[in-house]
Amino acid sequence: MIKIDYRNKEPVFKQVQNELMRLIVLGVYPADSQLPSVRVLAVELGVNPNTIQKAYRELEISGVIYSVSGKGSFVSQKDNAQEIVREKHIAEFENAVKSAFYAQLTKQELVLKIEEIYSSKDR
């Protein structure tokens, strides 16, 4: 379910982190459900366990998941997890808008782009 692109500049641990956030927000992993273990996911993706652990730890620090030593890693209460992920994406979006503003792009252009992208995806 998780895809890694090794040609991508984005570090592997970050890609894993983003993919997990995406799956959590989509409800594939509901609140308190168990995520694949560090080692299982490492084997599945052909990646070092440390790399996966780094992804998990960062998600834990930001409150999206919690891990119980000896038991596994679990999704935090949905409200929390989703909210945190949302905030991260909003922050990213705000930065892009500010850059766009400084680059003299107009409001209309941005809104149009949004329409374009949202209507191209089926929802």
Partner DNA sequence: GTGGTCTAGACCACA
Q: Footprint of a copy of itself on this chain (CB under 8 A)?
A: 6-7, 9, 11, 18, 21-22, 25-26, 61, 66, 68-71, 74, 82, 85-86, 88-90, 92-105, 107, 109-111, 113-115, 117-118, 121
Least separation, in Å, of the C-beta of 1 and DNA? 16
Q: Letter for the amino acid at 14?
A: K
17 binds, among a copy of itself, DNA, none (CB under 5 to 8 A by kind): none
Contact 47, 53 (CB under 8 A): no
Least separation, in Å, of the C-beta of 114 and DNA? 29
Residue with tokens 């680059």: 103
7 binds, among a copy of itself, DNA, none (CB under 5 to 8 A by kind): a copy of itself
Residue with tokens 């949905």: 78
Tell me, letter by letter, the H, E, C secondary structure of 63-114. CCEEEECCCEEEECCHHHHHHHHHHHHHHHHHHHHHHHHHCCCCHHHHHHHH
With respect to a copy of itself, which residue has the nearer C-beta, 22 or 39? 22
Q: Is residue 72 part of the contact set for DNA (CB under 7 A)?
A: yes
